Structure 1
Amino acid sequence: MSAIDRRDFLKDLGGSIVTGAAAWQALQAIVPARAEDAQVTPGIVQYRPEMEEVVRWIEKTPRERILEEAVDRLKKGLPYRQLVGGVFLAGIRNIKPRPVGFKFHAVMAISAAHQLSLDAPQADRLLPFFWALDTFKSSQAQDVKEGDWTLAPVKESAIPSPSQARQRFVEAMDRWDDEAADIAVAGLCRSAGAAEVMELLWTYGIRDQQNIGHKAIFTAHSFRTLELIGWEHAEPVLRSLVFGLLNGGKSDSAAPFDHNKTLIGQVRPDWAVGKPDPSATTALLQTLRQANTKDAAAAVVEQLNKGVSASSLWDAILLAGSELLMRKAAIVTLHATTACNSLFYTFRQSGSDATRLLSLLQAASWVTMFRDGARSR
């Protein structure tokens, strides 16, 4: 089965397992994603053995049989959330997050497939996950060709104590140390709550634009998917995430981060109570069409200090990303929209004023980098 894009896959799905009216009726007979399946049960805190079993059959089933196998298991009662978690965790274990992109989209697209499932007509709700299953098998095969990477067990003897995990993690991430960060994030997952762990990762997820923003995208989608399948699966997911975030080491793509951190202290303390201003949106949009990374961030600070709401500035940034895509449909401009969306997600999820401001400033700077990147290609 050759690689196909999402639209063609959904159009041509009838050519694989759904051949003829009878097969289509059988597919529709499967219980689709339900509202209660999409909710995270507060009492779920342990890794369930049946999840490992789901991951294993997804890993082992040949691509040409994976959809048929999924239909059979769903008809026998496989819960929707276990299918979501199985595909996601199979990708985490089997697909190398370096570079963060390309074949790794099989992992980063899971939460989007889930959202499509929720929004689709009832009879079509499983189609996005059939696409996700097929995409995983394609990426799994590609990973095998490139060396057959697998997420190895963490080095248990080196995991820091609960009192040291946070500091060890920050130090390792700041010096771009793969091995130290891996064991530190494992310790952090075991000793801290979801909000505390993700608060640290929001900052590192938006640190550099390397891989055309995929690091921020991976961070956002990791949290989105863990919210669905349960935080008990966080440790392997965040180990993969950290491995991806440290890809490439420190580079020029992280330069705006260091500069923008210095600007946070220049923003008025009550910036969060600004007022919407369409004229400020238009003004910032015009600035983003020509400014460099520093001037773009400075323009955001100026508008915030004038009392303009952050929402009006986000409007300008998201419009700027969309405008780039409209002007030139290409891989770089496409990711101007998806990366800015992930930075906006960070802004909405973080509980830290500093991180929220930093995500806004980074988004403004990144738009100019995407603009210049599109021109050079």
Structure 2
Amino acid sequence: MPPLTVAGSGRQTGVVIDPNLVRGALELEPTDRGLLPHRLPAWARAQSDDPQLHLVEAQPAGVRLALRTAATRLELDVLPTKRRYVGTPQRPDGWYDVLVDGELVERLQAPGGNVLDVEMMTGASTLTVGEPTTLVIELPAGEKDVEVWLPHDEQTELVDLRADSPVAPLPDDRPRWVHHGSSISHGSVATYPTEPWPVVAARLSGLDLVNLGLGGSALLDPFVARTIRDTPADLISVKLGINLVNQDLLRRRALGPAVHGYLDTIRDGHPDTPVRLISPVHCAIHEAVPGPSAPDMAALAEGRLAFVASGDPAEVATGKLTLEVVREVLAEVVERRGDPHLTYVDGLGLYGAADAERLPLPDNLHPDSAAHRLIGERFAALGDW
């Protein structure tokens, strides 16, 4: 994709926004306003008409601008799309985390922008178009490495970038880690973009993260496996289970072969790359109760967003999935494959029942920022792959 050249204003110098300045995205789509980061390529997006998938893959979890510069002032024009669920408490604006030489120095928000109103029960949505916002980032003097992490749960178009000194792409020779998972990997309920557990783990372990956590969409889609297959990676992890349960998507008979096929596809492009298959973290409502998940109407009446499991535990005997069943099947898959470069990670070791007593899931499905930190630290502590 050709770079987008932008004009400067005043003493600021126009900067070329090109793929080398943007990390963590697999594609940058030119729009009427600027560039829209995607975490799935266009060919993959074309293989699904699920509006949830299209919504979340364009939310830039793990995506950041990475620059080396002596500039003391950056001006970044962005066009966010705010998501609001009708009848529920309004979500706060997304945050931009600014890091200098690896240290957090500032957090900014971009008011305004587009607004997407979503009917939770039907999925119907209405988009109200807004205007871009300028983020002003003051930086210390001298040559430095700057990262601007985009809001993990707020679609963000990159409209314009200006600087008072030349800007170059930040060199990065760290091992590239490609991770796929559900909304927990995406970062749901975490407040800031450097708080989702894969970001925590990547920063602690010195890894260059590509986060393919897709809220509500870790569903063993073949086009995601092919995306991972085709993406350069030194390390790969796949966290599966909660979406399969809370969408009541598969039965036990289908799960094992589907996971084998998923891993076969990844192996077609990465025959010897270390892969970790991660089972679900603790989620009390679905440990022994199948899906689907449903909004907790009593919580909504109180102005809170929470979820309940609506399945019947008796149906586990007929093949319905629970998190307990998923963990058993995933462990069996890894054992049967006999792949020396494939390891099983029990999600309960990252966040278990005892952790839930201390750090409960605020909406019964998603960990908060503190729990994300715990999961990320424990994953990093697993050490060499």
TM-score range, shorter chain: under 0.3
Richer in strand (by share) = 2
Richer in helix (by share) = 1
**TM-score in terms of structure 2 length:** 0.23
**TM-score in terms of structure 1 length:** 0.23
